[in-house]
Amino acid sequence: MLNKKKLDSEPIVEFSPGKDSYINARKKGATRWILAHLFHGSNKFFIIIIIFTIILSANLSSIIYIIIGETISALLSGLTALLGNYILILLTLGITGPILRILSRMLIEILAQRTERDARKEFFTNLLG
């Protein structure tokens, strides 16, 4: 006597494509597929950090010009005691802005490589199965 449950179950294979979590996005088009991969898992966290660092570095770059103007005003009015503080602020802003830009570009590259890895994995899975 054969067990019907045993016949209805999936066969155990060594290389199976597994569950495809992007099948709905793939049916709706390439843009939806890319967005589904971008906003999958911990990538959302990277996107938030990227947006935050880009905005922060742009603001720091614009603040530098304001501080330079205040430094020149302080120098012309004879307040030389404030020059040391302004120099430290300018140095800090001048270093922090490029570091944030490098960080955001590195995170963009990590996100691109993750998307490429997922696309390659999905392609080969569909090719094999």
* 69 Cβ neighbours under 8 A, 6+ residues apart: none
**Contacts for 46 with CB less than 8 Å, ≥ 6 apart:** 107, 110, 111
User: Which of the four pLDDT bands, split at 50, 70 and 90, describes residue 71?
Assistant: very high
> The pTM is what?
0.70
Q: What are phi and psi of 3, to 5 degrees?
A: -85, 125
Say how far apart CA 86 and CA 3 lie, in whole Å: 83
Dist CA 91 CA 96 (whole Å) = 9
Q: What percent of the chain has pLDDT over 90?
A: 47
pLDDT in tens, 30-68: 788 888 878 888 888 999 999 999 999 999 999 999 999
The domain locations on the chain are: 47-129
Tell me, what DSSP letter sits at residue 42? T
